[in-house]
């Protein structure tokens, strides 16, 4: 005895109605038409797929249009490096100018110091000549002064006896007090004069010593001379260092300028600076032979047929780029080209063809 489930299935399975038979026939006929169409579609799809695969495996003139966005990682990185390089260039240029200014100041200062040197030498020479001339005279006068002082000292020794006789004369009433005071003042004046004379003698001896030997003043002058020379030497060193630094910075500036010039020739710079109206395409190395400046660019329907010329190759960039194969999705090495497109919508095509139409139509 069949259960409820089987009965239900039986009900579906057994339906001996004429209408049902006709309906089945219709369904089967429609199904067969649909199936034949589907299978042909599958067959065409498979053949087309195989053909596309074979085509892209053998074709050597295709390129993949690339839209470089200023906001993509590579462009952002490039922009950042560009800004940094420009900033470095400006900093180094400014530093170089500062150094150059500093060098000119140091050169002037050095020249003025160098000009002092002969004047100082001349002054020293003049003093030496003068000392040689006046030194012996002073020495002679010093000796004479000493001799005079010796004599005066002998006279002063007698003053004490005169003082005693004045006092005796005053006591004896031979002279008045006024006369005695006048005589004492005179004696004191004589003693003071002697003392002054002794002082002058010592000073003269000093002068003689200075004129005839190397004294501290001479040493001071020599010290000043040494300082002057040292300052000049230091300036020479500073100048040398500054000049060296200027040379290095000049080289660095040259390098940065070259790097910036090279960067300005890259697609990323053009993309960043040129906006969206600059069109690029990736060309794998295998297709390099099809690329030349001025070569026509073709865009095709279904990526390979009914092609039309849409522009020309404007520039070829030498830097290596990596991209994904538009069909095989494998990594590829190649380079970018800039295209001059009359039909900007072709920049959005999966592939374009360079130099020739891929299937000659």
List the x/- string, 210-239, binding to another protein by CB under 8 A. ------------------------------
Of 332, 356, 354, the C-alpha closest to 341 is: 354
* Residue in the block written with tokens 């080209």: 337
If one asks whether residue 42 binds another protein (CB under 8 A), the answer comes out as: yes
Checking 116-121 for CB contacts under 8 A at 24+ apart, the result is 116/228, 117/225, 117/228, 117/229, 117/232, 120/221, 120/224, 120/225, 120/228, 121/225
286 binds another protein per the rule CB under 8 A? no
Tell which one of 177, 322, 329, 360 touches another protein (CB under 8 A). 329
Residue of the chain from 19, 24, 153, 176 that contacts another protein (CB under 8 A): 24
Q: How far is the CB of 18 from another protein (least distance, A)?
A: 12
- The answer to the question of residue 31 lying near another protein (CB under 8 A) is yes
Closer of 39 and 219 to another protein (Cβ): 39
Structure tokens at 339: 């295209």
Q: Which is nearer to another protein, 285 or 328 (CB)?
A: 328
Binding region for another protein (CB under 8 A) out of 36-44, 71-79, 199-207, 334-342 = 36-44
* Position 2 contacts another protein (CB under 8 A): yes
Of 180 and 327, which has the nearer Cβ to another protein? Answer: 327
Q: Give the span between the Cα atoms of 38 and 31, in whole angstroms.
A: 10
Residue 62 CB-half CA count within 13 A: 20
Instruction: Name the minimum Å distance from CB 64 to another protein.
Output: 16
Q: How many residues bind another protein (CB under 8 A)?
A: 31
Question: Integer distance in angstroms from the first to the last C-alpha of the chain?
Answer: 73
Strand 296-301 and strand 305-324: the pairing is antiparallel
Which H or E element spans position 247?
Answer: helix 216-263
- Which one of residues 47, 48, 49, 188 is an interface residue with another protein (CB under 8 A)? 49
Contacts of 2 (CB under 8 A, 6+ apart): 10
261 makes contact with another protein (CB under 8 A): no
Residues at the site binding another protein, with contacts judged by CB under 8 A:
1-3, 5-6, 8-10, 12-14, 21, 24-25, 27-28, 31-32, 34-36, 38-39, 42, 46, 49, 53, 327-330
């Amino acid at each position: 005895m069949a259960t409820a489930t089987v009965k239900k299935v039986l009900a579906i399975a057994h339906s001996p109605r004429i209408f049902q038979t006709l309906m089945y026939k219709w369904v089967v006929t429609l199904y067969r038409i649909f199936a034949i169409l589907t299978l042909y579609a599958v067959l065409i799809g498979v053949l087309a797929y195989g053909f596309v695969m074979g085509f892209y495996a053998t074709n050597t003139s295709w390129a993949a249009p690339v839209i470089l966005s200023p906001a993509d990682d590579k462009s952002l990185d490039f922009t950042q490096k560009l800004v940094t390089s420009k900033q470095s260039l400006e900093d180094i240029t400014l530093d170089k100018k500062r150094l150059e200014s500093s060098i000119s100041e140091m050169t002037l200062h050095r020249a003025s110091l160098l000009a002092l040197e002969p004047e100082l030498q001349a002054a020293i020479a003049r003093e030496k000549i003068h000392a040689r001339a006046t030194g012996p005279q002073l020495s002679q006068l010093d000796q004479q002064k000493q001799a005079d002082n010796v004599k005066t000292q002998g006279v002063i020794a007698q003053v004490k006896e005169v003082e005693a006789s004045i006092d005796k004369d005053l006591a004896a009433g031979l002279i008045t007090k006024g006369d005695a005071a006048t005589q004492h003042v005179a004696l004191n004046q004589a003693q003071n004069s002697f003392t002054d004379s002794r002082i002058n003698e010592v000073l003269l001896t000093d002068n003689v010593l200075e004129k005839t030997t190397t004294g501290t003043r001479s040493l001071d002058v020599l010290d000043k001379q040494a300082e002057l020379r040292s300052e000049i030497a230091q300036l020479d060193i500073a100048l040398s260092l500054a000049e060296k630094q200027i040379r290095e910075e000049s080289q660095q500036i040259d390098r940065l300028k070259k790097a910036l010039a090279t960067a300005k020739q890259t697609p990323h710079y053009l993309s960043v600076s040129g906006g969206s109206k600059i069109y690029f395409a990736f060309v794998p190395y295998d297709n390099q032979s099809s690329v030349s400046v001025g070569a026509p660019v073709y865009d095709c329907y279904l990526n390979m047929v009914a092609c039309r010329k849409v522009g020309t190759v404007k520039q070829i960039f030498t830097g290596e780029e990596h991209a994904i194969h538009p069909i095989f999705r494998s990594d590829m090495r190649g380079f970018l080209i800039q295209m001059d497109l009359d039909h900007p919508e072709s920049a959005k095509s999966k592939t374009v063809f360079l130099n020739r139409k891929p299937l000659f139509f």
